[in-house]
Amino acid sequence: MRGRPWFMANELLAFVIELAALACLSWWGFTVGGGAAARWLLGLGMPAVAIVLWGLFAAPRARVRLPLWGVLLVKAVVLGGGVYAVYRVGHPVAASVAGVVVVVNTGLAEFFRRRPAR
């Protein structure tokens, strides 16, 4: 099928972006907070909350089926949270680049997923 390699490459990139967002949320959590307990709670808790949100609402086999706008909202919260986390730990240029990659990847993914099969 024409366009299939692009679809698969974009899906792989989407998965890498999702993992990177979890890592960034954890990184932020471990660098912020008053004491060691707060840092551990945020460092492990933020990615855990993101995983639960993703699994419930945004994963391909999500337990709750949302309309497209709802799925995109959950993706914006989780992936945007990862981008914001990079910004908050002091890397604004990396956050800007990551934000552009997230938006382009998500847009292409939705385009490829909704394009009629030939």
- 3-10 long-range contacts (CB < 8 A, ≥24 apart) are 3/112, 3/115, 6/108, 6/112, 7/112, 10/105, 10/108, 10/109, 10/112
**pLDDT, the chain, mean:** 91
* Residue 118: per-residue pLDDT: 60
* Residue 1: per-residue pLDDT: 44
- The pTM for the full model equals 0.89
Residue spans of the domains in the chain: they are: 4-114
Would you list the DSSP string of 87-108?
A: HHTT-HHHHHHHHHHHHHHHHH
